[in-house]
A and B are shown apart, each in its own frame.
Chain A
């Protein structure tokens, strides 16, 4: 099963390779653009494995209009908007991938409030979240994505 790991560092990939066991082939992307490149290079990606917060990403690598977010949500405070875009980057990348027609299951490691998770599912379809780095639960979530 081919999994595209999308994160700003390498902790998810390191965890996946070391803790999830056999049966997976992992590809890695640090941004929306890299995810698009990986998808273009391999049509057989079964599932997306997402981090939510991309604090280490440079602004140019982020999806999301920071200036528009500042006006819409933070009374023009660009710094708070930038932080928000980074904090939500995984979901923003997922939105962009869905818009481009990629319907694979998305698995997040994040403790979403139930309402937020329900909203993500309403917007983006097949989305699962595991609240922490629990290898057994993550493996199950990823494996079910191939069915």
Chain B
């Protein structure tokens, strides 16, 4: 079973998911979408063979480390994660996203100076995080639709 399938299974077992869609939509938007704003468009740099242009590097730094209220994406994610029901907060896919965000944070000093290897690693992690959070948001919507729940 994939981490996303596990998440959806746990979701089905929760009796009240009122407001959950708002949280996972915010995770998808505030973290998943923006963390991949530059990353999604620089696949040529994913291998870390080339340096980003100064403009794109500045944008990437903003996406990763100065995003919501000028804080790292990991901080925004931590805030929203704390709003999740306990059983979902500890789920494998949510922990996986947190671990990838920690990995990105550990690359900050190198990414800021445009180290090609670090930028490549950060881009790859960003795309994976974006995919996970998009999947989580869709899973919540699917379950809510099936139950006839509102956001």
A-side residues, CB < 8 A to B, are: 11, 14-15, 18-19, 52-53, 55, 73, 80, 83-84, 87, 109-111, 113, 131-135
- Is the Cβ of A19 less than 8 Å from the Cβ of B41? yes
Shortest CB distance A49–B (Å): 14
**Given contacts A133-B37, A133-B41, is CB(A15)–CB(B59) below 8 Å?**
yes
User: Cβ of A133 and Cβ of B59 under 8 Å apart?
Assistant: no
A81 to B59, CA, bound (A): 32
Report B-chain residues with C-beta under 8 Å of the C-beta of A111.
28, 134, 137-138
Q: Give Cα A83–Cα B26 distance, bound, in whole angstroms.
A: 11
B29 adjacent to A53 (CB under 8 Å): yes
| Known contacts A14-B59, A18-B55; A135 and B29 CB within 8 A of each other | no
Q: Is the CB of A133 within 8 A of B22?
A: no
B127 to chain A, nearest CB (A): 10
Residues of chain A lying within 8 A (CB to CB) of residue B124: none
Chain B residues close to A by CB (< 8 Å) = 19, 22, 25-26, 28-30, 33-34, 36-38, 40-41, 55-56, 59, 62, 130, 134, 137-138, 141, 145, 150-151
B141 partner, pick from A14, A110, A113, A131, beta carbons under 8 A = A113
Knowing that A80-B22, A135-B41 are A-B contacts, what are 6 other residue pairs whose CB atoms are under 8 Å apart, sorted by A's residue number?
A11-B37, A15-B38, A87-B25, A111-B138, A133-B36, A133-B37
Q: Which of B22, B34, B41 has the most CB of A within 10 A?
A: B41
Question: Which of chain B's residues have a CB closer than 8 A to the CB of A11?
Answer: 34, 37, 62
In angstroms, Cα B22 to Cα A83, docked, is: 9
**What residues of chain B lie closer than 8 Å to A84, measured between beta carbons?**
22, 151
- Quick one: which of B30, B33, B56, B59 contacts A132, CB cutoff 8 A? B33
Q: Give the nearest-CB partner of B32 in chain A.
A: A132
A-B contacts, 16 of them at CB < 8 A, read: A14-B59, A15-B37, A18-B55, A52-B29, A53-B26, A53-B29, A55-B30, A80-B19, A80-B22, A84-B22, A87-B22, A132-B36, A132-B134, A133-B36, A134-B41, A135-B40
In the complex the two chains form, what is the Cα distance from A55 to B31 in whole Å? 13
Given contacts A80-B19, A87-B22, A111-B134, contact A132 B29 (CB under 8 A): no
Measured CB to CB, the closest approach of chain B to A16, in angstroms, equals 11
Please give me the residue from chain A that is nearest to B67 by CB atom.
A11
With a cutoff of 8 Å between Cβ atoms, the chain B residues found around residue A133 in the complex are 33, 36-38, 40-41
Q: Bound state CA distance, A23 and B38, in angstroms?
A: 20
